[in-house]
Amino acid sequence: MVTVDSIFTDTIEIKQSKFLAFLMPMALYEEEMKHLRQNHPKAVHFVSAYRMLNELDQIVEYSGDDGEPKGTSGKPTLSVLQGHELINAAIITVRYFGGTKLGPGGLVRAYAEAANTAVSTASLRPYEKLYRQKIQCLYSVISKLEYEAIQQCVVIVHKEFITDGAVVEIEGTQERLGAFKDAMGRMISIL
């Protein structure tokens, strides 16, 4: 499985209809949908599809046709995500109607092509499951902890100061969390 870390976009035109496809991380999906609807008020359809892993590591899939004939836009977009084995990713395709109806087959081809062009522009990376871990440290160690988090590509998700130090929640792959814990040694306590 592969995923993306940022938004990638491409545009195709078929019979004067423009299809603007946006591939993005799942975390940006809702915000980007609002943003696209605001920035493209004359567009007629905002077709979307996504694939994500839930908390049980099950794949959850969605596709929406947004007024296009059922199954002619969202499903072909979802098929592109499936075909490229993308996970925790979404595609939104904005359509500007050009005056010529494409028919069901034409719509399927157009939305699939738009999604494929967005994927072809993307920097795909292998998907790695992220884990969270809570740790505790003394005040005197916090700057070292922040430094090692950057060095080991571990994200500090939350930091709470307590009487004698801090409780910190970190996130990363198992390998990166292990390297972080090794680098910090006895300066931290695992909670």
**In the predicted model, is pLDDT for residue 144 greater than 90?**
yes
For residues 164 and 138, is the Cβ–Cβ distance under 8 A? yes
Return the CATH number of the domain spanning residue range 2-126: 3.30.230.30
Supply angle C-alpha 25, 20, 87, rounded to 5.
Answer: 25
* Residue 59: closest CA among 72, 68, 50, 67: 50
Question: What is residue 153's predicted lDDT score, i.e. its pLDDT?
Answer: 82
pLDDT digit string, tens, across residues 84-132:
999 999 999 999 999 999 999 999 999 999 999 999 999 999 998 888 8
Name residue, tokens 């792959």: 173
Q: Hey, which CATH number is domain 131-190, 3.10.440.10, 3.30.70.240, 1.10.150.120, 3.40.50.720?
A: 3.30.70.240
Outline which parts of the chain fall under CATH 3.30.230.30. Answer: 2-126
78 pLDDT tier (thresholds 50, 70, 90): very high
Alpha carbon distance 40, 108 (integer Å): 22
Q: What is the pTM of this model?
A: 0.75
**In the predicted model, is pLDDT for residue 74 greater than 90?**
yes
